[in-house]
Structures are given as structure tokens and as C-alpha cells.
Amino acid sequence: MTRTDAKTMTRKQKRLTLIGAAGVVLAAAAGLILFALNDQIVFFQTPTDIVQKGIPHGQRIRLGGLVEEGSLRRSDDARVDFVVTDTTSTIAVTYQGILPDLFREGQGVVAEGVVGPDGVFVADNVLAKHDENYVPKEVAEALKDKGVWQGQN
């Protein structure tokens, strides 16, 4: 069946099929990308942003700032609670899991998750520095804006 179809196809038809297929795949890809960009990107926010803007519950965000000194509490089942501050506002964070090696009080941190109905940020992923020279970039810039940045560069 396909054999006779192919035989009777003219050059033009062959070319059109090819272009048509390419168009369909590319349109599908473009659609997927646009949909995902609308839906799946995560905005970076500081505690002040959250307090001022009022992020809707359930929306994923990346929260960045410094871990407030003396705020770290550990409980069983590997649960940790700490407070993230940008020196103007603070927000409480709860997380179950293993904290990164370089997670320290007073140091920069980025937590990914959602703000719960009680205003506590429920993180499912916590990132800290990879090495001594590295502070999450967003955190560094947000802190620089506030004039409390003390690191190099």
C-alpha cells in the first residue's frame, strides 16, 4: 500500500510531506516550551518580597537569604526548622532531609518549596554554597541591594 503511494508521490508532494512533518514537530515543541515556561518556572524571592507581595499558597518559589543566627532547630525524622532573613524581614522554613554540607547559621542559603497556609515555608530542596568562595548568586545580589553584603566582588 505504502509502496504505491510513494511511487505516485511527486517531488513536490514529497517535499511538502517533509516540511509538514517538520512543521508539526516544531510547533509541538514550541507549544510545549511555551506552556512549560508559563507554568513551571520558579521565581526567586527574598523574605521581604514574600511579606510584601503575599505569594499565593501552593506556588513554588525559591527563597533566598541568610540563615538567621541561633534559629536552627533540629527534631527527629531529620526535620530541621530555621529562619531565613534578608535583615529587613524574616520567614520561618521547615525542611525534612539532609542539609548541604556548607549550610551554616549566618550564611547564604536558597530554599525551594511553597509557603504553607500558616505562613511557614515548606522547603523540599535546600541549597547552600558549593565551596567557600561561592554564595548563591541571587542571594549575593539581593543582599548587595540592601547594602548588607560583606563578601568580595
Partner 1 sequence: MIVELGHFALVLAFALALVQSVLPLVGALREDRPLMAVAAPVSVGLFLLVGLSFLGLTAAYLTSDFSVLNVYANSHSAKPLIYKISGVWGNHEGSVLLWVLILVFFGALVGLFGSTIPAPLKAATLSVQAWVTTGFLAFLLFTSNPFERIPSPPLEGQGLNPILQDIGLAIHPPLLYVGYVGLSITFSFAVAALLLGRIDAAWARWVRPWTLLAWVFLTLGIAMGSYWAYYELGWGGWWFWDPVENASLMPWLVGTALLHSAIVMEKREGLKVWTILLAIFAFSLSLLGTFLVRSGVLTSVHAFATDPARGVFILGLLVLFIGGSLTLYAWRAPMLKQGGLFAPISREGALVLNNLFLSAAAAAVFIGTLYPLALDVVTGEKISVGAPFFNLTFGPLMVPLLLAVPFGPVLAWKRGDLLAACQRLYAAFGLAVVAILFCYWLWGGKAALAPLGVGLAVWLMVGAVAELITRVRLFDVGLKRGVARLVGLPGSAWGTAIAHFGVGMTVLGIVTASAFQDERILTMRPGETVELSGYDVTFDGVAPRRGPNFQEDVGLFTLRKDGAVVDRLEPSKRIYEASRMPTTEAGIHTAGFSQLYLSLGEARGDGGVDVRVYFKPLVTLIWIGCVVMSFGGLVSIFDRRLRVGAPTAARSRSKSRSALPAAAE
Q: Contact positions toward partner 1, by CB under 8 A?
A: 1-3, 5-7, 9, 11, 14-15, 17-18, 21-22, 25-26, 28-29, 32-33, 35-37, 39-44, 62, 74, 76-78, 96-99, 101-102, 112, 130-134, 136-138, 141
- Are 111 and 123 contacting, i.e. CB atoms less than 8 angstroms apart? yes
Residue 117's SS3 state is coil
Residue placing its CB nearer to partner 1 in the complex, 68 or 112 = 112
User: How far apart are CB 30 and partner 1 at their closest, in Å?
Assistant: 9
CA 115-117-120 angle, to 5 degrees, is 50
CB of 39 to partner 1, least distance (A): 8
CB of 117 to partner 1, least distance (A): 22
Q: What is the DSSP letter of 132?
A: T
**Can you tell me the distance from the alpha carbon of 144 to that of 41, in angstroms, rounded to the nearest whole number?**
24
